[in-house]
A and B are shown apart, each in its own frame.
Chain A
Amino acid sequence: GQQLNQSPQSMFIQEGEDVSMNCTSSSIFNTWLWYKQDPGEGPVLLIALYKAGELTSNGRLTAQFGITRKDSFLNISASIPSDVGIYFCAGQGTRTSYDKVIFGPGTSLSVIP
């Protein structure tokens, strides 16, 4: 079945540092999504990418949809303590379902003040 891989699995960084995380897939998706989940809460959408090669920013966050449509990266600049959480990439839209979303395993981010 379709699988997503995220790297790194976890990160410990100093406040103010930049962060980069990646997501790769064995399948092509129509849309790539990045979500952040805080403990005990549902995921919150950070960035949605709709076109191969698309580069999109949301404040300190920047994400790109890979040309092959099988990968994406998320960068966070000048990290702050509230960036702590689990970051999930997700692929949406396959040959069989335009709605189905497949989640990656997540990257856990810890920010040291």
Chain B
Amino acid sequence: GAVVSQHPSWVICKSGTSVKIECRSLDFQATTMFWYRQFPKQSLMLMATSNEGSKATYEQGVEKDKFLINHASLTLSTLTVTSAHPEDSSFYICSARITGGAGQPQHFGDGTRLSIL
């Protein structure tokens, strides 16, 4: 149980393109989902907390107009990297917490590797 699916698993696109990444909780409902960014050989850095039906909460230094988050249902959150540039290339990982499981561990997707040419 507690499976989180991310799509796509990798994407290569030209500079200036906008890229949408989906995060789905397959067998549970998730009021809250989280988006992380990971550079090679580094740890996961929280970008934003996505709340179903409301605006996302962004961490300091993360541009909300650059990284658009939508959490329209209890099983789906999307991250759109707008007008992507090479410096946006990274491994993006989402996680989800079971609704009602306050303080319970987050379950992670398998990540999306984004490469901007």
Contact = CB atoms under 8 A, between A and B. Distances in A.
B110 interface: yes
A13 B109 CA distance: 29
Interface residues of A, number: 24
Nearest to A101: B106
A48 interface: yes
A99 B97 contact: yes
A105 B43 contact: yes
Interface residues of B, number: 25
B108 A92 contact: no
Interface of B: 4, 6, 32, 34, 42-46, 49, 91, 93, 95, 97, 102-111, 113
Given A42-B109, A103-B43, A105-B43, 15 more contacts: A33-B105, A40-B113, A41-B110, A41-B111, A42-B108, A43-B108, A44-B108, A50-B103, A92-B103, A92-B105, A99-B97, A101-B34, A101-B106, A105-B42, A106-B43
Top 7 A-B residue pairs of the complex, sorted by shortest distance between their CB atoms: A42-B108, A103-B43, A42-B110, A103-B44, A42-B111, A48-B105, A43-B108
